[in-house]
Structure 1
């Protein structure tokens, strides 16, 4: 038994002791992921029903940005194994719910596609942060557009600034959709 000694009986005893300490020591994923799962498990012990409150990026635990790691797991949920999903769901971590954007005006072309991308990113931001919270300068929102498999990085603050500057070129339905998302200037 690798690294547990030459005596098979003693190696088996040591292996059993290691399993008693950490039943997950032989998982196929990296040690970093294992460490995060252990931290989540330990934090959830003290929470009602073993469910963690929402941990936002910037929440540091043991010198690590646990909130950012959780956000990445939620975003990349489909790429996780069923076991990893179960381990995250147990303390109350769930995949990101993708908002359904309001339909863009049917003007066609690149402008309509860019408006749809920006609107999808804005709808995701508003669902997560609320309509009253301003988008920080330089903020990039990763979102998945219907029909796409890979997330795109939408420069949301730039898109909002450009839309505001060009609001006179927007259609009435586009302005109404923006107003519904909390853009009072629309």
Structure 2
């Protein structure tokens, strides 16, 4: 309960700061955390109050649990799928988009052995993937679009390029027909598993 209250206070602090920065006056300071308190909590755990989307945190937690169980990080797409998430795809996307991550996200990734992609890494062919892996790749594209645009109103013909894996010292790009995939998901909404339905709900999917 204490941790939950601290996270709520931290989010309120950030929201109020944004309101003040936008020029709003009369925003009360009651219930906010001091900068010193925020920094102290971040020193203990940079990911204690994530401001990024829940899908990212879910994949990180799955990766953390795998590493804590003495598991090796996947070297490519389809090698490690946990609870429907292709962690090889997710890890490759983090490495490729390292510069766009928050400092706390980078710290969390480094803590489980994930590092930024090396300069000059080239695309490489990937192995055939399962249906779950294909879903994970398309979901990664949806999350990438949502993180960049702030919504999931994707044009029918939109194509989204993601990094889907790595092999040796290379990575592979894949172009996902994101608009078509989302339209198909809407048509098949009644047949989707509760988990897949929830994954799209988390991105504000309009059914």
TM-score bracket for the superposition, by shorter chain length: 0.3 to 0.5
Higher RCO (C-alpha 8 Å, min separation 6): 2
